[in-house]
Structure 1
Amino acid sequence: MIDIIAELDEVRRRVHAGERGDQVAVRLERTYSAGVEDVWDALTDPERLARWFLPVSGDLEVGGRFATEGNADGEILRCDRPSTLVLTWGGPESVVTVELAAPDADSTVLTLDHSVAATLVPDSGGALYVGPGWDDAFLALGLHLRGTDLGDPAEFQNSPEVLSYNQGVVQAWEATLRESGMATEEQTQDALVVATAQFTALP
């Protein structure tokens, strides 16, 4: 069973304008009870990725292109073990940056920042289309690092338990978007309708 409240509280969320100031970006941060090498391996080893995220194929080195099964493809821009991974996600102006920090030998802080050029999304409410998906990945990674067998990750992501968890996730991202002040009420409500249907299967 997933402790929904505890898992929701583990993630720190932010919506911002990106480093350039002309982007829509989401940032997630979570501390895992695992060493940094273990977390790095879970994020970069294709065999482990297939157990908690998605099967990944391609040229998995800097400058190489990759594809995730049923989701985005992209290019690996930077890979500095065990601290920094930068890649495009679905297009050159959609960039994901993953950073790991080790406050001690038995814990790792993972920060993920996904920025998209503002010209590619209808408005800042687009943050609600992106953030909840990464929240799901953070949940699955945490369970994997604790030794939980998720079975087929795609089936896990669509399980009633995760869809229920996602209701809280969407609400958390709605609050984060409102706190950012980047979207109007109409934009927030429109994005909320889309995110609710996409991530919780509720109308």
Structure 2
Amino acid sequence: MSDLDMILEKTVRSYGRRQIQAGHALMIVLARDIPFPIGDVWSAVADPERLGQWVALPEGDLRRGGNYSLPDGSHGAILRCDGPRLLTVSWAREGYTTAEVEFHLTGEDGYTRFELRYASVRKGFAVSAAPGAGLWTGGAGWEYFLDVLEEYLAGSIPEEPPGIRFEIESGGELAQLFEARNERWRRTADDFDQEHTP
């Protein structure tokens, strides 16, 4: 198995549907085993100061029922917070469909099973984008989010937190990985469509 295949196999990908505040939503689900204890992983995604080190520093009333905003214009509400196992937030940004992002964490033997659910009222998610276009493709973009989380937990703090925007230059290993992940998401979408077509 190649190094690229090993990276691709780290994430389990699926589609689903769920009801969110904005309506009946299409959902992508990513699951990955992260080699760090659940308390450390939870702190990285739920503690504002730590989140600011690898994504962006949130502002607002940062508790259940409160609202948050990020420097890139993203904003929403904290819908559920049951540490260290569950965090759900709404997410909105100008030009994008309102969504909900949910993190489910399960700890076992020093590892954390991290399941990310991104649900949005839309017909589908983009699964291909021209390098440099800045298009947030649902699955591959969130996989990049998990990559940065793992790098942060391993001690690599970026000079400038990337936020949740995902822009890549054409060519290079990152672009190759991005496209390979998009291909996996295309297959996952096709399988989901076949299973749910009358």
Q: Gaps (5+ residues) in structure 2?
A: 128-136
**Deviation digits for residues 123-166 of structure 1 (CA, Å, limit 9, x no counterpart):** 2x326332222111011111111112332232995465433321
Letter in 2 for 1:136: Y
Q: Whole-Å Cα distance in 1 between the matches of residues 108 and 192 of structure 2?
A: 28
- 1:180 paired residue among 167, 178, 192: 192
Letter in 2 for 1:103: E
1:183 is displaced (CA, Å) by 9.9
Q: What is the TM-score normalised by the length of structure 2?
A: 0.77
Aligned CA distance change for structure 1 residues 72 and 85 (closer, same or farther; 3 Å): same
**Deviation digits for residues 155-184 of structure 1 (CA, Å, limit 9, x no counterpart):** 995465433321222112111111111699
- 1:146 paired residue among 133, 154, 158: 154
Q: What is the TM-score normalised by the length of structure 1?
A: 0.75
Name the counterpart of 1:126: 125
The answer to which of 153-162 and 22-31 deviates more is: 153-162
Letter in 1 for 2:12: R
Name the counterpart of 1:163: 175
Correspondences of 1:1-203 after superposition (within 5 Å): 4-18=4-18, 22-90=24-92, 94-104=99-109, 106-117=110-121, 121=122, 123=123, 125-126=124-125, 128=127, 129-154=137-162, 158=167, 161-181=173-193
The answer to which of 129-138 and 159-168 deviates more is: 159-168
Q: Gaps (5+ residues) in structure 1?
A: 185-203
Look up the SS of the partner of 1:18 in the other structure: strand
1:40 is displaced (CA, Å) by 0.2
Q: Whole-Å Cα distance in 1 between the matches of residues 62 and 28 of structure 2?
A: 25
Identical positions, percent: 27
Q: Whole-Å Cα distance in 1 between the matches of residues 139 and 161 of structure 2?
A: 18
Look up the SS of the partner of 1:181 in the other structure: helix
What value does the CA root-mean-square deviation take over the aligned residues? 2.8
CA contact (8 A) 1:11 1:30 kept: yes
Q: Whole-Å Cα distance in 2 between the matches of residues 75 and 89 of structure 1?
A: 7
CA contact (8 A) 1:157 1:163 kept: no
Aligned CA distance change for structure 1 residues 57 and 6 (closer, same or farther; 3 Å): farther
Letter in 1 for 2:139: G
1:71 is displaced (CA, Å) by 4.9
CA contact (8 A) 2:15 2:26 kept: yes
Q: Whole-Å Cα distance in 1 between the matches of residues 181 and 149 of structure 2?
A: 16
Aligned CA distance change for structure 1 residues 177 and 57 (closer, same or farther; 3 Å): same
CA contact (8 A) 2:141 2:166 kept: no
Q: Whole-Å Cα distance in 1 between the matches of residues 147 and 120 of structure 2?
A: 23
